[in-house]
Structure 1
Amino acid sequence: MDREELLLLTSLLLMLEGYLADNVLPAVLAFLLSLYIVSLRRGVVLSVEGSVEVPESMEEGKWHEGKLSLANHGSNAIVTPVIKTGDFELDIPYEVFLPTASTWDASFRIKPLRKGSFHIDSVGFRVVDERGLYEEFFPLFPIKVSVYPSVETIKEAAKVDRNLRLAEFYRTGKLFGGESLEIRDLREYQYGDEFKRIDWKASARLGELIVREFLKEENADVYIFLDNTREMRKGIKRARIDYAAILVVQVAAALIRKYRVGLVIYDELSADIVNPGKGGTQLETIRRRLDLRSEPKESSFRFSFETSLSKKAKAFLGKILPMRKGRKGPKGLFEALSLLKNPSFIILVTDLSNPGDVYRAVSLALKKHRVLILSPNPVLFYSGKLDKDALRRLYQAYKDREELIRRFNVLVPTIDLGPSDYIREIVKVV
């Protein structure tokens, strides 16, 4: 109840008292009080224009400066800026007295608490007349903000040095530096050449043995594919997309001095690409693109594996992985592959929650590219309540996951990752 309503209620009670007590004085007081309220209301005009400006792109956990602008076209008023959001910390003036026909400009501080893309809808000014009787809210257009991972977060995560499995996996050979699938030239066979290099069609046409020479892979670009589908965004306390975003920056930082590194982010329907480049500027471009928002929901731990395999293989996989009808896979992954025009390295960061689509996409990619999969394990990222049913479900999901990783390792190198696994070891093996 505001002050005007309180005065009107008081006036009504005085009139009621005068009627019940058969006394004219309370009724007169009620009448005078009503006239006072009406006269005040006719003299109060609340009309304020203003704007709130904040940077469109911010860094997680860092203070940024915003601007407030106000212009009062009505009566003297007390104005309170309103920005309601639980995703940002604000250091903003509580209220300001604004006389008639005056303006006011000020700055304030805003700090995003987590990364992602945000629409701040509750933005405006609460305006109260100088007596505090009348109040009105003047809304503004929603503010759209993109928050990218902070340098401090990445540096802190880089201190975690636990992914020894990756170094062990590549102990016998490096991921990069071999020969690509792109033919550079044809030449005559020389003693010591491998027979698999012989181009039999060219040899038959020219009447002598001809071998193929391939481009060195140092000339190829590296593309980091980041899965931004719904399952990757789910997480009670920490989503896999949060982990994956830091992982992408670490891998890019490890490779970007030697290779041209690009980024491709895909979801269920589409894909977006950051063209490859080298150096600190390219790394910063990649980092700023990782403003991916998580969803506070529990993972489903369900998989669907449908490939163009034999009936026997499908039957085998059907025993390993539960089927889910009607589920849409990450079609954006196929669009992402179409964005690559030349033979390249692909580092695919995905939780394999839609293994059938990923399997088909990777099989298609291997015709032209080399592929490595880094896969955050949904079971290891579980942070919900642990009861008997949850433990039973997690155990079954863990067994299914082992079979899934084994199956993908037959196709391409696939590394299973947990929340504390980061790719600092990749620097030692590439």
Structure 2
Amino acid sequence: MKREDILVTLSLLGALHGFLTGSLFGPLFGAGIIAYIKLAHFSFSPKISFEIEGPGELEEGKQYDFLIKIRNNGSPTIIKPIVKVPFEVKVEGLKEVPIKRGGFIKLKVTPLLKGSYNIGVSLLVQDLYGLLNFETEEASMNIGVVPSVDSIKEGVKEARNVRLKESYKRALIGSETVDFYGLREYYPGDDIRRIDWKASSRIRKLIIREFLKERDSDVYIVLDETREMRKGKIDYGSSLALYLTGLLVKAGYRVGLIRYWEGGYKVIEPGKGVAHLEKIRSDLKVRRERGISSLKASLSSFSEKGRKFLRKVFPKKVGIAEALLSIKSPSYLLIITDLMSNTSLLYSLVVMLKKKHKIIIFSPNPVLFYPYEVDKEVLKMLYESYKERELMLRKFSTIVPVIDLEPYDYEEVLRGLE
């Protein structure tokens, strides 16, 4: 019940009290209340207009100031903002403010999640006596919320962890081929799916089928040393290449190294042993490039005619193409690249070579390797780059395992490949 209704009820009760008791106090009391209400109505004539001011683009988790600018061409009043926002947006500062001719109300707005949201604001306008009030029409403002650098990294990490598990399953080195090797007696711990039931029934013993291992295949570590990789990611790539080489040499594989850059490449043929590992370690000395990574990559699908054309021109000295096409026997190719240079060419090469080789791509994420201070414009650029890269990774992932890496993923990578 409104205050005005309560006062009207009291005035009627006063009149009733006077009628029943014959006293003048009740009617006079009621008349005074009615006069008070009439005075409040007569003096309450505000003319309110307002607008909302605030940034249109916000970063999640940060607090921003929004101003409700109010103009009043009527009687003095008391105003309280009414704000309608989704649960993803937190608003503070909803307090009553006396307004004569004009003023403002400062709201503290904190977006909790990325996205696009609408903020609706209306004003509850009250008289100075607290008897009368009305609500203005609602004004609205759209805001766009971009993710913070931390949430981008967290989101990439979460998505990457899922991809890591799937990629490791698809990229196990030393897995079995479909080439049949022979039969042998079943031993506890053998996979029961390999039991040859026909052979077992004939000799009345459990017999399992054995298949050839892919242990005899060579492994090539392919390191991208193009300009974009040299901007902050080459040390990581070189260290990862060396760690992978040490792990695989220790496991008994023949490991080779291919380094490629703009217009050239170098190959160290596969070998084994400590001396070979030292040879690769000595070769992994590259010079850093100054400058900021462009964070841009282009990827387009090639038609069949385009692929035929590429096959014709690949014999020329074009770096990555000639380097990969020089590998004659079926091998493992562990490619370390940020996918920022020669992206379309690399995609076409992978499509062609996956029929012959088993390929895994280890890709340092340029967004997560960004080394400089982040402001609003840089944050927006990082977010757009992150979305573009996600699309590119999905396209590569449809043909070969792709492992998206951040600066401290050595341990996770090595554990997955052990």
Q: TM-score, structure 1 length as denominator?
A: 0.47
Q: TM-score, structure 2 length as denominator?
A: 0.48
Higher RCO (C-alpha 8 Å, min separation 6) = 1
